[in-house]
Amino acid sequence: MTDGANMGYLIYGMIAVGAGLMVFNVINFARFMKRTNDVLSGNRLRDRVWTVTAFILLTFFLAGYILVAAFGKPDLLMSMILFGGSVFVSIVNHLMIKLIETVKERSIDVAEVIIGAVDARDPNLNGHSRHVQNLTMKLYSYLPPHLKKELDPVNLEYAALMHDVGKLGIPESILNKPGKLTEEEWTTMRMHPKIGTEILHPLHSFERIMPWILYHHERIDGKGYYSVAGNDIPLAARIIAIADTYSAITMRRSYKDPRTHEDAFRIIAEVAGTQLDAELVSIFLTIPKEELLACAPPKIDIESSDII
Alpha-carbon Rg for the chain, nearest whole angstrom, is: 26
> Do residues 45 and 164 touch, judged by C-beta distance below 8 A?
no
Distance in angstroms between the alpha carbons of the first and the last residue of the chain? 73
186-201: buried (b, 16+ CB within 10 Å) or exposed (e) per residue? eebbebbbbbbbebbe
> Do residues 308 and 250 touch, judged by C-beta distance below 8 A?
yes
Q: What is the Cα–Cα distance from 140 to 220, expressed in whole angstroms?
A: 19
* Backbone dihedral region for residue 256 (phi beyond 0: left; psi -120 to 50: alpha; all else: beta): beta
| HSE-CB for 296 with a 13 A CA cutoff | 24
Sign of CA dihedral 133, 138, 139, 145: positive
The yes-or-no answer on residue 104 being catalytic is no
Q: Which of 98, 104, 138, 167 is catalytic?
A: 167
- Residue 303 phi/psi, 5° resolution? -95, 110
Cβ neighbours, 10 Å, residue 95:
10
> Do residues 286 and 272 touch, judged by C-beta distance below 8 A?
no
Cα distances (Å, whole numbers) of residue 137 to 173, 210, 240: 32, 18, 9
Which amino acid appears at position 186 of this protein?
W
The catalytic site residues sit at 167
